[in-house]
Structure 1
Amino acid sequence: MRQRLKPLARDLGRILTALSGIVFASIVVSVAWGEFFAVPALLVSGLIPLGIGRLLTTRYSDADEIGKLHGMMIAASGWLLVGLFGTLPFVLIAWTVAVDPFFGPLAVPAGMDTPTLAVFRNPLNGFFESLSGFTGTGLTMTDDESVLPRTLQWWRTFTEWIGGVGVIVLTTAILARPGSGSLTLYESEARSEKIHPSIVSTVRTIWWIFILFTFVSISILYLAGMPTWDAINHGMTGLATGGFSVTDASIGEYNNPIIDFAMVPVMILGSIAFPIHYLMLQGDLKNLYTDPQTRWLWGYFSLGSVALVGLLLLNGTFETSRVAVTNGIVLTGSSATLFQTIRYGLFQFVSAASCTGFGTTGVGDWSAPAQLTMSFAMFLGAAAGSTVGGIKLIRLITLVKGTAFRIRGVFYPDSAIRYLKLDDRNLGEAELSRELEEAAIIAFLWILFLGVGLAVLLLTIDSSFTLENAIFEIASAQGNVGLSTGITGPDMPTPAKVMFLFNMWIGRLEIIPVLVLLRGLLDTFNFYR
């Protein structure tokens, strides 16, 4: 192998080894639910990445320590690989059910071979589902998640839960090694926050916080009236801001406002940066309003929800009848319209802005302004250092404050020494230029690839979908959200599926590591020609 790719191969081997562990852990679910036919498929799905991972790790154990270039290449290729090998449980279980090669306890139960499961016999659909899960997107190839085997319901949930924090963070936590390599990998996954001086201690603390809040989220939903299995899955994917569901109509399946409102704080928990969670757990609650990004988060969620509710009211979106019955309470006239509008508008904006992607009602027939408002929310996302997608609030803050700082600078003499306070840091001219450059580049690339994806989508999808439908869908894919206007599904054209795979991949890694990987591979190829 080319010398410069040895560190890449070694660390990809470590990532695949970690992936095999989460596949093997999922066998417990198959056994617990009596789905023994899925156990051989999971064993094979775990042994393949384990074998390849151990081979790469052992063969290239003497590779040099990684630098920033290799770190970005490892992050980009690592996320793509876990999506690829995460396809195996979908494909192998779907074919096991179709062929039913076993007998006795391993025989497939009657009624398991559904059209929903059959779509995963196509490896591209399985890859789409896997990458959508690991990137925390939540767009799905299924048309009725409730009929999937419990094993695959769990696997979909588990991929989002792992992907919420990050496969690099997982690998660093359980297969940590000393030195700068762990920090380089951590930063290459679009993260920069540190809770402790040691990056290994930081990622392990992040995981403990994540596990704690997972139990809190599950408990909230269970107490709100959600069945136990549903609460476990929705609690995990809600906190991970992923959005995969185990029901056909997502959270709307329950038609329960108590569950809707209980899910909102779960999604907000996933939208706050992990260092702020850590300080909160230490008793330092003032960061909920003193931290700039968290302070903007409250205003962003509040103003966005009010704006969306206002648009829905203005358009009369829920004025379908004069009487509504909610949990036995009869509401009539404008009170019914107002309550339903607030209920759905608040939930859907938080779901979009937190990049969770749960749904309580269809949005495909909403007005263009309402859909574009949610598209903007998916484009922006929430706090950096959390589980969300989008360009992140901190970059919006940087662009807004940096632009205002530049404009004000015109009125100062050239000899003036000025600083901009940003995220508790005082930035000089040189530092501010770097921050503004990074924020502008990410925003530009995000919009650029959004446009490319939109063009592919408009050229391939059915003409019955509107422009705002297409913008909404591509923003959902690249923002790793998962809300859909009905475009995404197993019948979606292959070019659109491939484009969405690319959009989900670059969206999770904030684009630059993917471009670095592609450029690095091209340079390696040209160097050895």
Structure 2
Amino acid sequence: MKLKHGMMISSIAWMWAGIVGGVVISLATGTDFLNGIFESTSALTGTGITMFDNVEILPHSILFFRAFEQWVGGLGVVVMVIGVLTRPGTATAKLYQSEAREERLKPSVKTTLKKTIEIYLIYTIAGIILYLLAGMPTFDSICNTFCMIATGGMSIKNANIGYYHNDLIYLISIVLMILGATSFLAHYKIIKTKGKSLIQDLQFKTLICIITFVTIILYLASHIVPIDLLFTVTSSITTTGANVQLASTMAGWPSFILVILMILMLMGGSSGSTVGAIKLYRVITYVKAIYRHIKEILSPDGRVIPIKISGRRVSEKEIGKTGNFITLYLVIIAITWIIFCFYGYPPFDSLFSIISLQGNNGLDIGVLNNTLNPVLKIVSVLNMWVGRLEIYPVLVLFRAIFEIFKK
């Protein structure tokens, strides 16, 4: 099976899973079908935005279903299936690559996926235990762990994690979000080297530095409660979208804070993790490429300056692909933004929400709820779908459909 086939299967599988989940939610809750699809897609893609005004009145079965969708979606529906059921080989490798996880833990893709699931399960069990020790009820501990480790953020409470008013629970959630946003290659190396390789992982170091630096700067500039800022900053860059402040409260924060959160939501966490958005590896590559270009202008003609990340030389093809992806990513955001503005939504609030949708984040300042125009709900579902699959698999599918009708 060729890579294009793997990409098309992934695209269809994600959309189909969202529709099936939407039917389940719609039938179980009585909400309309479009809201059900939005809810299910939001959970599966790890976006975490809900169409329910009051999630606390939902049956426990639906709350668990939403949390489980996030947990499964954290690794990818297709990846979860082929990791257990598919034999090692070319088809598996192509599907694995189409899920935007090009890093390899082990020589066999099937072995890689099994090891990934094993690590995922260990962190999940640890998260549940930690929440229980912090005083969280059992059902809440399970659902919230599923949400946090998968960087989904769709909580079972209207006030999200802020419902608990417990700093220890906030800190546990922050740790789980960071674990979910760290490359599974790094997790494997950490376990293998007993933690020694952690400080060598560039993406992890960048993630921690950004969280620390931005939290300090925002606190000095705003004097918002430190733990609330730390939680929100971590939630933004890990694309979890969990919150300890209501959307209405965040909407009242200074604009410069919201702009910084948008930048963090664009960046995302590590490649090879459960996060959405552009991802740190691409950001680092892009920044280094810009810096190299400046150095080349100042250097004697003909000088070749290679780009290296963690000691590995980055090929020109990879640099080009990174630039193309970031351009496509921003173009899709711009198109969606124009559509939202056309329907009369405030430009700033719309941009914040669209960046959140495209990056599978979930933070919102009051735009994304069940009063959203039906057309924009459909657009939002497409945004979440495209963002989760990292654009190219969806474009390949659309191209294939176009070729069929062209004939």
CA distance in 2, matches of 1:452, 1:309: 34
User: Structure 2 CA distance, aligned partners of 1:256 and 1:179?
Assistant: 48
- Answer whether contact 2:7 2:99 (CA < 8 A) is retained: yes
**Per-residue deviation, residues 18-52 of structure 1 (Å, max 9, x unmatched):** xxxxxxxxxxxxxxxxxxxxxxxxxxxxxxxxxxx
Which residue, 395, 405, 408 being the options, matches 2:295? Answer: 408
d(CA) in 1 for partners of 2:312, 2:194: 19
Out of 217, 220, 233, which is 1:349 matched to? 233
Question: 1:506-525 residue pairs with structure 2 within 5 A?
Answer: 506-525=386-405
Within a 5 Å distance, the mapping from 1:18-29 to structure 2 comes to none
Which residue identity does 1:348 align to in structure 2?
T
- Matched residue, 1:421: 308
Decide whether the 8 Å contact of 2:269 with 2:276 is kept in 1.
yes
Residue 168 of structure 1 corresponds to 78
| 1:358 corresponding residue in structure 2 | 242
Q: Deviations over 1:384-421 (max 9, x none)?
A: 10100110000111011122223223455556554322
- Output the CA distance in 1 between the equivalents of 2:401 and 2:218: 44
Paired amino acid for 1:498: I
Instruction: Establish whether residue 458 from structure 1 lines up as the match of residue 344 from structure 2.
Output: no
Local SS of the residue matching 1:86:
helix
Q: Does 2:1 align with 1:91?
A: no
Shift of 1:85: 1.3
SS of structure 1 residue aligned to 2:308:
strand
- Deviations along 1:356-376, whole A, 9 cap, x unmatched? 111101212212111111111
Structure 2: any 5+ residue segments left out of the alignment?
none
Q: Is the 8 A contact 2:88 2:109 kept in 1?
A: no
Tell whether the 8 Å contact from 1:311 to 1:369 is kept in structure 2 after alignment.
no
Question: 1:460 touches 1:495 (CA, 8 Å); kept in 2?
Answer: no
Q: Deviations over 1:445-491 (max 9, x none)?
A: 111111111122222255xxx43221111111111011111211111
Note if contact 2:88-2:108 (Cα within 8 Å) is conserved in structure 1: no
Matched to 1:369, the amino acid is F
Is the 2:239–2:359 Cα contact (8 Å) retained in structure 1? yes
CA contact (8 A) 2:292 2:305 kept: no
Aligned to 1:14: none
Change (3 A) 1:461 1:157: farther
Q: SS state of the match for residue 426, structure 1?
A: strand
Matched letter for residue 243 of structure 1: G
SS state of the match for residue 129, structure 1?
Answer: helix
Asked if structure 2 preserves the Cα contact closer than 8 Å seen for 1:461 and 1:492, the reply is no
Match of 1:468 among 348, 358, 381: 348
Between Structure 1 and Structure 2, how many residues are aligned?
404
Q: 1:497 corresponds to which residue? A: 377
- Rate the CA distance shift 1:440–1:219 in 2: closer, same or farther, 3 A: same
The 5 Å alignment of 1:58-137 reads: 66-94=1-29, 118=30, 120=31, 122-137=32-47
Report deviation, 1:422.
1.6
User: TM-score of the superposition, structure 2-length normalised?
Assistant: 0.95
The whole-number CA distance in structure 1 between the counterparts of 2:149 and 2:167 is 19
In structure 1, the partner of 2:140 is: 230
Please say if 1:298 is aligned against 2:185: no
Q: CA deviation at 1:344?
A: 1.0
Structure 1 residue 283 displacement after superposition: 2.7
Does the CA contact (< 8 Å) of 1:372 and 1:468 recur in 2? no
For 1:382, the aligned partner's letter is: G
Match of residue 65, structure 2, among 155, 169, 180:
155
Look up the match of 2:256: 369
Q: Look up the SS of the partner of 1:421 in the other structure.
A: strand
Partner of 2:121: 211
Q: Which residue of 1 aligns with 2:364?
A: 484
- 1:331-346 alignment to 2 at 5 Å? 341-346=225-230
1:141 has 2:51 as partner: yes
Letter in 2 for 1:247: K
Amino acid at match of 2:394: V
Q: Which piece of structure 1 moves more, 436-445 or 400-409? A: 400-409
Residues 181-214 of structure 1 deviation map (CA, whole Å, 9 limit, x = unaligned): 1010110111101100100000111000000000
For the pair shown, the structure with the greater C-alpha radius of gyration is 1
**1:423–1:80: structure 2 CA closer, same or farther, 3 Å change rule?**
farther
| Contact preservation (8 Å) 1:309, 1:346 | no
Q: Aligned residue for 1:280?
A: 190
Farther off after superposition, 233-242 or 301-310: 301-310
Instruction: Report the equivalent of 1:437.
Output: 320
After the TM superposition, list the runs of 4 or more consecutive aligned residues in structure 1 that deviate by more than 6 angstroms. none
Q: CA deviation at 1:149?
A: 0.4
Aligned 8 A contact 2:67 2:143 in 1:
yes
> For the residues of structure 2 that align with 1:216 and 1:426, how far apart are their CA atoms?
37
